Amino acid sequence: MPSLSASEAVALVATILRDTGLTDPERLLVDTEVEAFVAEAADRYSADRPRVLVTDVVADGSGRLALPGDLEAGFAVLRAVEHPVSEVPPSLLDARGYGLYEGPAGTELLLAERPSGTVRLTFTARCAFGATAPETTIPERDARAVCDLAASFGADAIAAGFARTHEPLLGEGAVAYRSKAGEWQAVARRLEARYRAALRLGGSAGPASGWANWDAAAGFTGGFLWHRAGGR
């Protein structure tokens, strides 16, 4: 079964939040905000459940390999380097025998064994909702959970909006806005908990995204480090 497209994910997040007014003034979040939260949730999911890709590259015996285009330095985890390929059991190079080198031509993979011929790289990659469902790289089984996470980011932003709106008010008006903010914070926590339960993630989660500037553009701001893994 195909997963969701990006537009379908945005619509599902609005449905989860019951924020489906026909015009922007009727809605607590506009589509551009929801789109940003969907992208942020996909990045978070990528850290929790990255794709695993396998690519064959040709080594010339120099001990230097250009990184394939779908290997994102700064995010990817290099899980294995195999040479020669298709042996049983797989012939995996010792992780101590290869590493990254930042050169004038960009990032290269240096191989101490200087192999020649086909080298197989196994590494992780980001997941995302595509323009069409077949282009989406988030599995169908997890797409709803990622939308729950995006909705938790949206609920937290709505809570921040109500919290900020009450600041100049006094009396019953301020109490009402504080109550709304608290209700939306609770929604954010429940939705993130639902995401974590669906993915069977251990540990306790903090706030979905923390108090945010209501006017600020949403987006993923976390950093990723390159890692390598593997060995005989």
pLDDT in tens, 107-139: 889 999 999 999 999 999 999 999 999 999 999
Which of residues 125, 151, 174 is at a domain's end? 125
Question: Does 56 reside within a domain?
Answer: yes
Query: Phi and psi (nearest 5°) for 122?
Result: -115, 125
| Same-domain check for residues 65 and 111 | yes
Task: Identify whether 152 is part of a domain.
Answer: yes
- Burial of 156 by CB count in 10 Å (0-12 exposed, 13-18 middle, 19+ buried)? buried
**What is the end-to-end Cα distance of the chain in Å, rounded?**
37
3-state secondary structure of 116: strand
Stated pTM of the model: 0.78
DSSP conformation letters of 62-124: SSEEEPPTT--TTT-EEEEEESSSS-SS--BPPGGGEEEEEETTEEEEEETT--EEEEEEEEE
Judged against a pLDDT cut of 60, whether residue 39 lies above it is answered with: yes
Same domain (yes/no): 138, 103: no
Same domain, 162 and 58: no
Residues 117 and 68 in one domain: yes
Structural Rg of the chain based on CA atoms = 22
Residue 31 lies in a domain: yes
Residues 69, 203: contact at Cβ < 8 Å? no
Residue 104: pLDDT band (50, 70, 90) is: confident
The whole domain housing 17 covers: 6-49+129-198
Q: Confirm if 34 and 138 have CB atoms less than 8 A apart.
A: no
Both 164 and 115 in one domain: the answer is no
Cα gap 161→207, rounded to integer Å: 16
Q: Same domain for 92 and 116? A: yes
Whether residues 72 and 163 fall in one domain? no
Is the domain of 83 the same as that of 133? no
* Same structural domain, 182 and 162: yes
The pLDDT confidence band at residue 231, using thresholds 50, 70 and 90, is very low
CA gap 215, 232 in Å, rounded: 51
**Token pair listed for 218:** 């949403």
| Domain tally, the chain | 2
Q: Judge if 45 and 65 occupy the same domain.
A: no
Residues 188 and 150 in one domain: yes
